[in-house]
A and B are shown apart, each in its own frame.
Chain A
Amino acid sequence: MFDKSRAPVSRACVALGRCQVASLHALAVSATGSLVVLALLLLPVGVGFWLLPRAARWLRALSDRSRARAARWTGTPVSSPEPLHGDRHRNARARSTAVLGDEGFWRDLTWAWLEPVAGGLVVAAPLALVEYGAFGVLVQPFVWRLLGDGNWYAFVPVHSTPTMLAALALGLALMGAGLVIAPATLRLHARLGRPLLSASRGARLARRVEHLADTRARALDTLAAELRRIERDLHDGAQARLVALGMTVDRATRLLETDPRASRELLLDVRTTSEQALADLRSLVHGIHPPVLADRGLGDAVRALALDSFLDVHVEARLPGRFPAPVESAAYFAVSEALANAAKHSAAREVRVGLSYEAGLLRATVTDDGRGGADPSRGTGLSGVRERLDAFDGTLALHSPEGGPTTLTMEIPCVSSSPKTSSC
């Protein structure tokens, strides 16, 4: 919604300005809508085939702009329909047919005819109040002497100083009323426009299915790669060490009678090898699912990360209970990657990590005081994180202006479970 930090008066003025923009826009929409209908009517005589694709494109440009503006003003994105594909066809008749078969085009047209009536009149109300009020305040005090008895302002007959003052007060009140209702009007306008502007349910579902199929395929790829890595690590690490261990024990056993001293040396080797095998397994397990994450959940696991980072990392975690294990894991590795990046590239000294959960959205922010200018396309770390978050419909946003600070924001929609109660 609106920026909460702004004073109510300036917020009302901004809303009024937006009403003005929206009402002018409604005029343009109305004109373009008529043009499209004209093009449809002209189809039988041929000119329509030339005009329709153009008019449809103009209309789409207007509706796209409305969507972008609605998203900016209300903070909630509006899903847009599939782009018009008419341009692919070379001949005008085929282009027009493509437009006519496009679901988004018909939704645009409906919107073009309803928006000026529903939306345009709504946003005109505060404008009319303020403008008529301004007429009362700025013009009435001066013209009543010239006009004499027949001069009325709204229901006030203005022909003397007291009635002029009454008109002045009424004008001020009308302006005030216009300003007061402007923000609510704008919200109402957005609410009326949204169902018409957003893509149809079918289009949204189709897009969703495509996205799911895509992220599922990538999640499966990632999983397979991860399993291969684990297999390889076990094979080259712990498994190899255990084989070596068995062989050394065997030799030690054979030497036990003849050369106890050498046998003892070998057994000490066995101990070292077993420790190395344990260390291998430990780092492998840590890479799969950090034990502290399993034990304590995301908040403490990130605190543990912070303690091992050589930057000053301040963690502020406000999390109710635990989250599904895959979500915790994805968020943990995302924060871990962000901290590693901050340590490697940003020349930062201090990092703030925020973890919060609100309205079904787990949010992690990592802000460093480094030099900024981070490029998300460079390096594979962040794209790996993005892919991982994608599987949960999560998002990752990087804000890193030159000179810093760099903020990485990750959001994952999920459900929190009630806090685990300890048995002691």
Chain B
Amino acid sequence: MRVVLAEDLFLLRDGLTRTLREHGDEVVAVDNGPSLLRALLEEDEEAPDLAVVDVRLPPTYSDEGLQAALEARRRRPGLPVLVLSQYVETLYANELLAGGDGAVGYLLKDRITHTEQFLDAVRRVAAGGTVMDPQVVSRLLSRGDARGTIGSLTPRERDVLELMAEGRSNSSVASCLYLSESAVAKHVASIFAKLGISPSADANRRVLAVLAYLKR
């Protein structure tokens, strides 16, 4: 897999490059916004399969990386993008999800210390899935609690909803919560019935529906 990696701090760029290379990916590392956009729009042989992007990049040190990723996705719809940041904003998550066609991830930089989880997120995004940082999800859930929109759920269902909103599959939810997959499927069906979300077999649509519900 050809990964374009944009990160301005040398230590992090180097570490991420090593991690990804160790797992058999080809890495193109850049350290600023304009060269990121160029690398993302390469054609043919050079075309990337995935972008791993830091929000804040030179030269402006504002949300240059995010803007480049969004622009690249406008020009190349469905290009998988995993955005990393020192902080997460629901606003940025919304902008990434706005297209509605998945293949996006938004994670705190802290998560790269868990190599397995990070690589799992990389694979899921590359495969067209949606990955949301637990912190984004927990903010959405606590907002849902305060507004009473998810008050009808049992604590167990709330756990399942949380993991589902992070973009996990049933089997992943099952292993996180030490449940059987069929039990998870039952919880999921019950959550959808209670919240009035139409169930969808497509895992990606399911995440988007759940996130859209929580953002109400």
Contact = CB atoms under 8 A, between A and B. Distances in A.
B94 A307 contact: yes
Interface stretch (B54-62, B125-133, B163-171, B192-200): B54-62
A201 interface: no
- Most chain A C-beta atoms within 10 Å of own C-beta, residue among B64, B71, B90: B90
Contacts, number: 64
Contact of B90 (A286, A307, A424): A307
A424 B86 contact: no
A295 interface: yes
A423 B60 contact: yes
Contacts of B13: none
B147 to A, nearest CB: 5
Interface in B34-75: 34, 37, 55-56, 59-60, 62-64, 67-68, 71
Nearest to B72: A424
B143 A291 contact: no
B86 A291 contact: yes
B56 A423 contact: no
Contact of A296 (B34, B62, B110): B62
B60 A304 contact: no
At the interface, is chain B mostly helix, strand, loop or mixed? helix
A278 B110 contact: yes
Interface string B5-35: 0000000000000000000000000000110
A282 interface: yes
A293 to B, nearest CB: 10
A275 B110 CA distance: 6
Given A295-B63, A296-B63, A424 B71 contact: yes
Nearest to B91: A304
A361 B17 CA distance: 49
A424 B143 CA distance: 34
Nearest to A307: B90
A423 B86 contact: no
Contacts of B147: 310
B75 to A, nearest CB: 10
Interface in A303-361: 303-304, 307-310
B113 A300 contact: no
A292 B67 contact: no
A422 interface: yes
B63 A423 contact: no
Contacts of B114: 271
Interface residues of A, number: 24
Nearest to B60: A423
Nearest to A302: B91
A424 B94 contact: no
A321 to B, nearest CB: 13
A292 B71 contact: no
B146 interface: yes
Given A274-B113, A424-B34, A304 B90 contact: yes
Contact of A423 (B55, B64, B110, B215): B64
Contacts of A275: 110, 113
Interface string B89-106: 111101000000000000
Given A292-B91, A423-B64, A424-B68, A308 B86 contact: no
Contacts of B86: 278, 282, 285, 291
Contacts of B34: 423-424
B90 A308 contact: yes
B143 A422 contact: no
Interface string A257-287: 0000000000000010011001100100110
A420 interface: yes
B91 A300 contact: yes
Contacts of B64: 422-424
Contacts of A118: none
Contact of A308 (B109, B113, B143): B143
Contacts of B33: 423-424
A304 B89 CA distance: 7
Contacts of A304: 89-91
Contacts of B215: 307
Nearest to A283: B87
Contacts of B90: 304, 307-308
A310 B67 contact: no
A279 B110 CA distance: 9
Given A274-B113, A310-B143, A423 B87 contact: no
A294 B68 CA distance: 17
10 contacts: A271-B114, A282-B86, A292-B89, A294-B62, A295-B63, A296-B62, A296-B91, A303-B91, A307-B90, A424-B33
Interface of A: 271, 274-275, 278-279, 282, 285-286, 291-292, 294-296, 300, 303-304, 307-310, 420, 422-424
Given A285-B86, A423-B60, A424-B64, 13 more contacts: A274-B113, A275-B113, A278-B109, A278-B110, A282-B86, A291-B56, A291-B87, A294-B62, A300-B91, A307-B91, A307-B94, A308-B90, A310-B147
